[in-house]
Chains A and B, each alone.
Chain A
Amino acid sequence: MLQLFLHLLLLLGLSPLLPGVIGKTKALFAGRTGPPFLQSYYDIWKLFGKGLVISRTTTWVFRAGPVLGLVVPVLAALMVPFGSIGAPISFAGDLIFFVYLFGLSRFFTASAALDTGSSFEGMGAAREVTFACLAEPTVFFSFIVLARLSGSLSLDVMFGQALNTAWQSAGPSLILVVACLFVVVLVENCRIPFDDPNTHLELTMIHEVMVLDHSGPDFGMILYGAAMKLFVLGALVVRLVFPGSTGNVWFDTLLFSGGMLLLAVVIGVVESTMARLRLLRVPQLLVGTLLLSFFSLILLLR
């Protein structure tokens, strides 16, 4: 019970802090003061207090997009161990469920964008699913590597104690997996080398364009959902990098939170030091990442 409570508390409470930390890091690089750490909380709070404008051409699909965008990360988070705090729900094969939960939310976000009938949003939806279908095999290859190392098909065990021995027996493969999953975190959360979360009304943007027509509480749900998605996917990377456990639940929680904030700082550094890729180069890089994850599997199997 405590586990479940702690899990949800971390997810719901800490996730909007990550965009704040990323923003601060970027501001530091640019020599600005930047918005306060808690800006995302304010934004979400403000949006939930606002009215809702819905286009007459839309159907229930348009409302379902943000709701699924909010619910899916919560469900997915229940299958992921946060640091050494085990996952509340776990069963054999939940890694497939995990990946396709995000697939479901993506399907509805894209459908909601198409539902508005705007050609601009349709273009964004097309780009989003193109990149997603290139990122998905990378996730699977990485998971297969971890599944083979731990001998289990559930995320809780794959990211559990087995990692400690895995780092000793298959270090090089795991380094590649960490790199691949980090790229997946960036592309799935529309961070800079792939998509710029700050641009609006620009022909190169991908994710932002799909949610242009959402307003008020709906948009709040999207922002909150996006923050939680970043948190859940980031948790996988953090767990891979810090596989240890001290035994004390509270200390572990603190350690994990520190790891997440560190990840946010790293993302901020990447965003500040890299330029956005040209759209044509993005699939190329994603295919490269896919091949890298495939190679990590070969390295393990030989």
Chain B
Amino acid sequence: MDNYNPANLLLLLVILFNFFLLGSSRLNACIRTVAIQGGILSLLPLFIHGFSGHSLFLAGGAFLLKGLAIPFLLLRAIRQVHIRREMEPLIGYVPTLLLGTLATAGAFIFSDRLPLIEAHRGSLFIPVGLATLATGFLMLITRRKAITQALGYLIFENGVFIFGMLLAEAMPLMVEAGVLLDLLVAVFVMGIVMHQINREFSSMNTGQLSSLRE
């Protein structure tokens, strides 16, 4: 395996950002990190498929959406509802970090056992993709606030994107564009939901949605 392949170093950075996201309590920093992670991922198609119209479109679209538009929307959302940090995660930060590392280790071990085609064997794409999916899941499960759950969803999508990179040549543009569009819409919806929760309960705690009221 060529370790100095820029794509591999980028994927390593993605994993480091995963750890940071699981351990950080500041929403601002989390959103920025997701933005940087998305930006880094958007460079991947250029590194593995070279400069073609297809990869340029993928990279540009991903960069605009993941790196700029969605973080901007989320930052605006937290400015509007005045929250700065996730106060009470269901599972603490250190246990989530531990779980995240176990999941990452598991992803690496598991991907070694998958019956992959020769070209993908030993590449970092699959373990990193799996690890990022797991990180997104963990975010979704362990955090209470709607906005951190939206972030978890975004990280999850980043993982899907890493997987998609392996198929980028076979996947038509429309599918790719559809995924990105879905994501944008989902964040819009999340933004509206967040606003509603905040207005009804004057907090963003999704736990309150399950308690009955008169």
Contact = CB atoms under 8 A, between A and B. Distances in A.
A169 B3 contact: yes
Contact of B105 (A170, A171, A172, A298): A298
A287 B127 CA distance: 22
A285 B9 CA distance: 23
Contacts of A287: 94, 97-98
B190 to A, nearest CB: 28
Interface string A45-89: 000000000000000000000000000000000000000000000
B141 interface: no
Nearest to A171: B3
B93 A298 contact: no
B88 interface: no
Interface residues of B, number: 21
Contacts of A168: 3
A291 B95 CA distance: 11
B94 A284 contact: yes
B104 A295 contact: yes
Interface in B135-151: none
A298 B104 contact: yes
Contacts of B15: 295
A170 B97 contact: no
A302 interface: yes
B9 to A, nearest CB: 7
Interface string A149-182: 0000000000000000000111110000000000
Interface residues of A, number: 17
Contact of B97 (A169, A172, A288, A302): A288
Most buried by B among A171, A287, A294, A295: A295
Interface string A14-33: 00000000000000000000
A103 interface: no
Contacts of B57: none
B108 interface: yes
B101 A295 contact: yes
B108 A302 contact: yes
B98 A291 contact: yes
Contacts of B109: 302
B92 to A, nearest CB: 9
B3 A170 contact: yes
Given A169-B3, A284-B93, A284-B94, A291 B9 contact: no
A302 B3 contact: no
A124 B104 CA distance: 35
Interface in B1-22: 3-4, 8-9, 12, 15-16, 19
B3 A288 contact: no
B86 to A, nearest CB: 14
A11 B11 CA distance: 40
Given A287-B94, A287-B97, A291-B98, A302 B112 contact: yes
Given A172-B12, A302-B109, 13 more contacts: A169-B3, A170-B3, A171-B3, A171-B4, A284-B23, A287-B94, A287-B98, A288-B23, A291-B98, A291-B101, A292-B19, A298-B104, A299-B108
17 contacts: A170-B3, A171-B4, A172-B3, A172-B8, A283-B94, A284-B93, A287-B98, A292-B19, A294-B101, A295-B15, A295-B101, A295-B104, A298-B105, A298-B108, A299-B108, A302-B112, A302-B127
Interface of A: 168-172, 283-285, 287-288, 291-292, 294-295, 298-299, 302
Q: 5 nearest interchain CB pairs?
A: A291-B101, A171-B3, A172-B12, A302-B108, A287-B94
